[in-house]
Structure formats: structure tokens, C-alpha cells
Structure 1
Amino acid sequence: MRTFTIAAVMLAMLTTAVHAQTRRPAGDDKKKTEQKPQVDEKAYKAALERIPEPKEKYDPWGVARPAEPAKKPK
């Protein structure tokens, strides 16, 4: 009787785990389509033209190295 009870409990635990893996929420059945905003090419190009041009060239290593090379001691 004890073996039968243990086997029944093990079977119940296994079926619960399998059932939990296959269950899907009720809201996922409906496929939702997201509407993406339409890209306006004219507005995009106009926005790019409004960005000001930098006066001097950007140097990403400017902080890590000096602007002018150091003179070598004689």
C-alpha cells in the first residue's frame, strides 16, 4: 500500500510539471498586430538638415592623449 501511495504521488507530481509547461495564458490566443508609425522621409531629411555642423572635428581620444605632442628631452 505504501508503494502504491508513493507511486501515485510521483505520478501526480510529474503530470503537474508537464501540465504547467504546456499551459498557455488565455490572452495569447489572439494575435495582436502592432501598428508602427509611418516614416516620413521629408520630415526625416529636414530634421537631419537642422542639426548644426560642428566647428571642429570630434576627437574621441582627445581626453586620453594631449592635443599637442610632447617635446622629447635632449
Structure 2
Amino acid sequence: MNAFGGFILRLLGNLIEMPVVFVEQVINGDPIAAILIAFGSLFVLGAVGGFGYVVAGALGVPLPNLGRGPSDPVE
């Protein structure tokens, strides 16, 4: 087998093995680590969601207005 094929097989094997190692060794090892991972995931999801909203708006997808726009009069 060539080097690229071996690399792909090893990569797929590691992707299957990764969640088990992550749960058993990282999350179960320390309760603070689980809390930090949860909050880090929320921050990343918020950033990805905000970026996705901006990209969808730039592509012309009709989206709800998240704030007061120029059509709303200021009193």
C-alpha cells in the first residue's frame, strides 16, 4: 500500500478511536475539565453561528433582523 493510503486508513482509525479516548481520559479525569470543555464548546458554537449568520446574509438569504434597523424610527 502506498503512503497516502496508509495515512488515510490511520486517520480514519484515529477518528473512530478519538471520542472514546476523549471521554475516558479527558472528561472523566477532572470535573473542572468537563466544565471548561462545555463552556469552550458554547463559545465556539456562538462564534460559528454568528459567522454563519453573517455569511448567509452576505449570500442574500432572507434572515430575521436581530436589532433595530434603519427603517425603525428613533424617538
TM-score bucket of the superposed structures, by smaller chain: 0.3 to 0.5
The structure with the largest helix share of the pair is 2
Tell me which structure has the larger Cα radius of gyration: 1
TM-score, scaled relative to structure 2: 0.32
Of structures 1 and 2, the one with the larger relative CO (CA 8 A, separation 6+) is 2
TM-score, scaled relative to structure 1: 0.32
